[in-house]
């Protein structure tokens, strides 16, 4: 398997392309990619041409961008790195879950494969990070309970929080103050007749203060796994063999 030489820019591009498709089924467009990376559209056009030359993406001009098998493999490797690092920072170094993202964003490009596997072993090979995001194993397999975004669920649905968007540290601190975290059991009660938001009830809360109303942004940042309906499922990724290890050459 070719060990394409990578840079931290290439790694971030591929990771963002993957992340977009992880929950939306459609492929990412040039301008969305630019926004997520915080660079100009023209920079994306150039870099996508380069990624195509490297065999990491498929792309026709003026069309959305798809990862190749090789690109997917690199992306999964970066996602594994990022999420293992977040988990490690919380469990071993006492970071709070709102502090870990930026640190992991830098470290993911700097640590060796050896470091990653040591960390994974020390943590007992976890399959999800502090925000519930699934951690691919060393072969790119992902294990995750089927989940839906809270704002897309009808009243009556009940389950446990399985995933929380980690991109806004303030939102994470807000959720903490509400007593909502990973694996919190809750039920969707309804929607306020006018106005925004979603009413939910925390099922196992000690101080049961009745239903709470979550803002739209909050509800869209939470995923719910239905209780007792599905077992975790493993998705075998397309990439045969181990994840690419662009970092072992360091």
Partner DNA sequence: GCAAATATTTAGGCTTACCGAAATCATAGG
Partner DNA sequence: CCTATGATTTCGGTAAGCCTAAATATTTGC
Provide the binding-site residues for Mn ion, judged by CB under 5 A: 12, 86, 105, 129, 131, 133, 166
Pick between residue 214 and residue 244 the one whose CB is nearest to DNA.
244
Least distance (Å) between residue 133 CB and Mn ion: 4
Pick between residue 8 and residue 234 the one whose CB is nearest to DNA.
8
Least distance (Å) between residue 120 CB and Mn ion: 15
Which does residue 10 bind out of Mn ion, DNA, a second copy, none, counting CB within 5 to 8 angstroms by kind? Answer: DNA
Which does residue 1 bind out of Mn ion, a second copy, DNA, none, counting CB within 5 to 8 angstroms by kind? Answer: none
Q: What are the φ and ψ backbone dihedral angles of 199, each rounded to 5 degrees?
A: -90, 130
Least distance (Å) between residue 103 CB and a second copy: 6
Comparing C-alpha atoms, which of 176, 160, 205 is closest to residue 97? Answer: 176
Which does residue 95 bind out of a second copy, Mn ion, DNA, none, counting CB within 5 to 8 angstroms by kind? Answer: a second copy
- What is the maximum alpha-carbon separation in the chain? 59
Least distance (Å) between residue 250 CB and a second copy: 6
Binding segment (CB under 7 A) for DNA, from list 39-47, 147-155, 186-194, 218-226: 39-47
Which does residue 166 bind out of Mn ion, a second copy, DNA, none, counting CB within 5 to 8 angstroms by kind? Answer: Mn ion
Instruction: Tell me if 9 contacts DNA by CB under 7 A.
Output: yes
The string of DSSP codes covering 193-233 is: SSSS-EEEEETT-SS----EEE-HHHHTTEEEEETTS---E
Say how far apart CA 202 and CA 178 lie, in whole Å: 10
Q: Contact at 8 Å (CB) between 201 and 187?
A: yes
- How many residues in total does the chain contain? 250
Comparing C-alpha atoms, which of 82, 72, 70, 73 is closest to residue 27? Answer: 72
**In angstroms, what CA-CA distances link 15 with 8, 82, 163?**
10, 10, 19
Instruction: Tell me if 52 contacts DNA by CB under 7 A.
Output: no
Among 14, 16, 17, 48, binds DNA (CB under 7 A): 48
């Amino acid at each position: 398997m070719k060990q394409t030489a990578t840079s931290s820019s290439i790694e971030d591009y591929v990771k963002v392309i993957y992340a977009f498709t992880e929950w939306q089924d459609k492929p990412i467009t040039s301008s969305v990619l630019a926004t997520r990376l915080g660079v100009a559209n023209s920079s994306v056009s150039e870099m996508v041409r380069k990624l195509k030359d490297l065999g990491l993406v498929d792309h026709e001009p003026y069309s959305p961008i798809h990862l190749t098998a090789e690109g997917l493999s690199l992306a999964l490797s970066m996602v594994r790195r990022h999420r293992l690092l977040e988990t490690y920072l919380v469990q071993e170094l006492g970071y709070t879950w709102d502090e870990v993202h930026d640190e992991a964003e830098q470290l993911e490009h700097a640590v060796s494969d050896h470091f990653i596997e040591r960390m994974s072993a020390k943590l007992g090979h976890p399959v999800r990070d502090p925000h519930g995001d699934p951690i691919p194993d060393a072969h790119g397999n992902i294990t995750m309970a089927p989940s839906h975004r809270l704002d897309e669920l009808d009243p009556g649905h009940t389950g446990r929080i399985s995933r929380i968007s980690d991109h806004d540290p303030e939102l994470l601190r807000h959720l903490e103050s509400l007593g909502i975290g990973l694996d919190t059991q809750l039920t969707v009660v309804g929607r306020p007749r006018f106005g925004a938001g979603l009413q939910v009830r925390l099922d196992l809360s000690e101080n049961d203060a009745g239903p709470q109303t979550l803002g739209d942004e909050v509800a869209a940042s939470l995923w719910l796994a239905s209780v007792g309906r599905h077992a975790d499922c493993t998705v075998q990724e397309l990439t045969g063999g181990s994840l690419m290890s662009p970092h072992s050459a360091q």
